[in-house]
């Protein structure tokens, strides 16, 4: 017999073990009278007047690329209608727990380090938290228009490097007037450079390093720091600050694609695996269900999209961008930051030996003393140290990566972190530079986006070193 697909909201089989597990899972939530995720059933009676429970669904919805749909695709109208309903609830009552504003605010709540218990960026919780965030929005949208077949979309920027047409237009609930990017603007190529990132061999480098104690530095995974942050930055307006980003409906299509990158990475190679650490799997997030009721969900409950009731139409990233090949040398005209790379003899020879044995990923770690309040996208070059201190080496510089730093809401973001970790894959040229034994320098060059002002590189950084990524976390 064909294996039955899991139905969303289906009650867990009531074995004693699972009963204990589920009771334990939701102990804090239950103590407060809140249901756990397992209780988040579509059959649950709605207790707000005028609303019906979502009709039972027995399927798995398919998320499709919104940039590739015909303008009259029915899923676009469904999405607009549903977002419109949520927006109206917030317009009627700003704090409506099942409104657009309340849900967008939930993202903001978890992007500050010191206000709530977690910061969902810069760590290995980045992928699972955002997956759950989209999942509960999908439920809300389905309930809003009583359509269990409604699916969120994703936007594959590598295929269509412009904000899709569905997000523009007057009186369109998917529009956001704060965006800096216009309908015609095109995402710069190296904002989408993730070829080497998709080869990241282990999850921590790919998806973020654990932040398991307060004194451990934050470390973004390669995808978060590159394409994720870069697209936020490029869209601008609400999107370029985590405190406001999820107000813009494009957030969910962008994250739909980031979520898809996760599955695509897992599928690309059997050695690509999610962490099996309990600290990861048992981490519990707080969300609100389709009616705005608090619920909890654990990381281990979001690892399989089918169990969450959705799948992607395609996991293929055929059109990706090789940023490195096309890059010019650092320009002499932009205000670069040039620093010597600190590396002792042992580190250097260990690295030189390891590099002979094939590809290794390196991370470039920097202590940062000041974060920009404005978002900034930076290209990193490594070169032999130039005798003229603090001048970029425009000849022999090796491009290693493009990374974007985003503000998290408050002007004094130095509360967030002391370190920046930038990921790169060591190519033969950089390997030779490391092995040659002469002092190296890193050049950080801000990326100029046409039409946007850029006066100085607003980061203060020191103590730049190169390490292998699998030696961290």
Residues that bind ligand C2O (CB under 6 A): 107, 111, 120-121, 130, 228, 232, 242, 245, 255
Residues 6+ apart with CB under 8 A from 380: 364, 399, 400, 401, 402, 403, 422, 424, 442, 443, 444, 445
Nearer Cβ to ligand C2O (220/301): 220
Residue 61 — φ and ψ, nearest 5°?
Answer: -85, 155
Residue 330 — φ and ψ, nearest 5°?
Answer: -55, 140
Query: What is the smallest separation between the CB atom of 117 and ligand C2O, expressed in angstroms?
Result: 16
Nearer Cβ to ligand C2O (257/441): 257
Query: What is the smallest separation between the CB atom of 120 and ligand C2O, expressed in angstroms?
Result: 6
DSSP state of 238: G
Query: What is the smallest separation between the CB atom of 134 and ligand C2O, expressed in angstroms?
Result: 11
Nearer Cβ to ligand C2O (38/193): 193
Residue 148 — φ and ψ, nearest 5°?
Answer: -65, -10
DSSP state of 224: I
Kindly write down the DSSP assignment for every residue of 194-216, as one continuous string: -HHHHT--SHHHHH-----STTS
Query: What is the smallest separation between the CB atom of 316 and ligand C2O, expressed in angstroms?
Result: 22
Query: What is the smallest separation between the CB atom of 242 and ligand C2O, expressed in angstroms?
Result: 6
Nearer Cβ to ligand C2O (138/398): 138
Asked if residues 167 and 338 have their Cβ atoms less than 8 Å apart, the reply is no
**Rounded-to-integer distance, Cα 465 and Cα 412, Å:** 25
Nearer Cβ to ligand C2O (110/399): 110
Nearer Cβ to ligand C2O (89/255): 255
Please, what sign has the CA dihedral across residues 277, 282, 286, 288? positive
Asked if residues 413 and 373 have their Cβ atoms less than 8 Å apart, the reply is yes
Asked if residues 288 and 295 have their Cβ atoms less than 8 Å apart, the reply is yes
Query: What is the smallest separation between the CB atom of 288 and ligand C2O, expressed in angstroms?
Result: 16
Query: What is the smallest separation between the CB atom of 378 and ligand C2O, expressed in angstroms?
Result: 18
Nearer Cβ to ligand C2O (244/441): 244
Kindly write down the DSSP assignment for every residue of 364-386, as one continuous string: EEEEEEE--SS-EEEEEEEEEPP
Cα separation of the two ends of the chain? 44
DSSP state of 65: B
Write 270-275 long-range contacts (CB < 8 A, 24+): 271/201, 272/201, 272/202, 272/203, 272/206, 273/202, 273/203, 274/203, 274/303, 275/124, 275/203, 275/204, 275/210
Cα 243 from chain centre: 14
Nearer Cβ to ligand C2O (228/293): 228
Query: What is the smallest separation between the CB atom of 121 and ligand C2O, expressed in angstroms?
Result: 6
Nearer Cβ to ligand C2O (227/433): 227
Query: What is the smallest separation between the CB atom of 88 and ligand C2O, expressed in angstroms?
Result: 25
Query: What is the smallest separation between the CB atom of 297 and ligand C2O, expressed in angstroms?
Result: 16
Tokens 């092995």, located at residue: 435
Nearer Cβ to ligand C2O (180/354): 180
């Amino acid at each position: 017999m064909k294996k039955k697909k899991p139905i969303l909201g289906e009650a867990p089989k009531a074995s004693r073990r699972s009963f204990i597990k589920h009771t334990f899972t939701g102990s804090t939530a239950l103590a407060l009278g809140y249901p756990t995720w397992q209780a988040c059933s579509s059959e649950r009676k709605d207790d707000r007047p005028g609303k019906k429970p979502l009709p039972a669904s027995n399927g798995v919805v398919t998320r499709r690329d919104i940039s590739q749909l015909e303008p009259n695709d029915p899923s676009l109208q469904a999405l607009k209608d549903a977002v419109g309903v949520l927006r109206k609830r917030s317009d009627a009552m700003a704090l409506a727990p099942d409104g657009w504003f309340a849900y967008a605010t939930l993202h903001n709540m978890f992007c500050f380090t010191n206000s709530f218990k977690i910061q969902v960026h810069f760590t290995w919780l980045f992928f699972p938290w955002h997956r759950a965030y989209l999942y509960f929005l999908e439920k809300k949208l389905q309930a809003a228009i009583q359509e269990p077949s409604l699916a969120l979309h994703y936007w594959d920027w590598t295929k269509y490097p412009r904000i899709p047409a569905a997000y523009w237009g007057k009186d369109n609930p998917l529009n956001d007037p704060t965006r800096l990017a216009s309908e015609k603007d095109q995402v710069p190529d190296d904002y989408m450079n993730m070829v080497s990132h998709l080869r990241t061999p282990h999850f921590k480098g790919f998806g973020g390093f654990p932040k398991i104690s307060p004194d451990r530095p934050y470390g973004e995974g390669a995808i978060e720091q590159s394409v994720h942050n870069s697209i936020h930055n490029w869209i601008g307006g609400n999107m370029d600050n985590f405190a406001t980003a999820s107000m813009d409906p494009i957030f969910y299509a962008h994250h739909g694609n980031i979520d898809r990158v996760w599955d695509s990475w897992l599928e690309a190679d059997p050695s690509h695996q999610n962490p099996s650490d309990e600290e990861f799997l048992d981490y519990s997030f707080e969300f609100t269900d389709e009616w705005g009721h608090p619920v909890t969900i654990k990381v281990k409950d979001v690892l399989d999209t089918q169990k969450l009731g959705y799948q992607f139409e395609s996991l293929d990233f055929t059109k990706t961008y090789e940023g490195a090949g096309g890059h010019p040398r650092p320009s002499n005209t932009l205000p670069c930051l040039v620093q010597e790379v600190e590396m002792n003899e042992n580190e250097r020879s260990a690295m030189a030996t390891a590099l002979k044995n094939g590809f290794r990923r390196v991370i470039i770690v920097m202590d940062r003393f000041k974060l920009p309040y404005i978002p900034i996208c930076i290209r990193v070059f490594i070169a032999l140290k130039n005798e003229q201190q603090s001048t970029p080496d425009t000849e022999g510089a090796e491009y290693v990566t493009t990374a974007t730093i985003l503000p998290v809401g408050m002007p004094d973001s130095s509360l967030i972190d002391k370190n920046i970790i930038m990921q790169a894959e060591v190519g033969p040229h950089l390997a030779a530079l490391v092995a040659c034994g002469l002092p190296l320098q890193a050049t950080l060059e801000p990326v100029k986006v046409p039409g946007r002002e850029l006066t100085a590189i607003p980061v203060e950084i020191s103590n730049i070193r190169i390490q292998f990524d699998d030696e961290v976390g």
